[in-house]
Amino acid sequence: MRSKSLILILIIALFSGCSYNSEDDLTEQVIIDNFVTYETNIKPIIDNNCIVCHNNPPVNGAPMSLTTFSNVVEAVENRNLIGRISATDGSVMPAGGPRLPQSLIDLVIQWVEEGLMEN
Ligand code: HEC
């Protein structure tokens, strides 16, 4: 009887220990996932959709390169990057279309709103 309750207590202690730890990990994960960063989220979008013209050096008539963090920040601040990817007329980037999926446009907008974090 005595050893049974000891085992029970041990099991309870083990389980509560485990769930506490995993809750901790989960909270940390959610916090990290909440922020959009250039390295994780934005660079892949640019690499897949823009670099074919906005390379270094730029080709196909593109006026600037978008290969680095500072290139992209500069284009957001001075070259209306958000306006150009959001455009619904012929000025949309990528040039010649198709327009990026709205989810990716929203991600870039969120990145700007959160303060243009690099990583
Ligand atoms: C097929 C080639 C091509 C692709 C792909 C492309 N661009 Fe462009 N981009 C151009 C050209 C050419 C111009 C200059 C003419 C113009 O402004 O429409 C330009 C201009 C721009 C400008 C305005 C620059 C200025 O100083 O006015 C921005 C911002 C821009 N592109 C962002 C992007 C982004 C972001 C992507 C990817 C989502 C992209 N472009 C994909 C060819 C391209």
Instruction: Region of 60 please: left (phi>0), alpha (psi -120 to 50) or beta.
Output: left
State CA 79 to chain mean position distance. 21
Segment 61-115, tens digit of pLDDT: 999 999 999 999 999 999 999 999 999 999 999 999 999 999 999 999 999 999 9
Nearest to 46 by CA among 64, 60, 63, 67: 67
> For residues 65 and 53, what is the distance between their CA atoms, to the nearest angstrom?
8
- Is the shortest distance between the CB of 99 and ligand 1 below 6 Å? no
Q: What is the pLDDT of residues 6-38, one digit of tens each?
A: 555 555 555 555 445 555 555 555 445 579 999
Mean pLDDT of all residues in 47-57: 98
Mutate to test the pocket of ligand 1, among 47, 84, 112 (most ligand atoms within 8 A of CB): 84
Q: Is the CB of residue 72 below 6 angstroms from any atom belonging to ligand 1?
A: no
Q: Which two tokens stand for residue 36?
A: 């959009």
Tell me which residue has its CA closest to atom 15 in ligand 1: 62
Q: Is the CB of 93 under 6 A from ligand 1?
A: yes
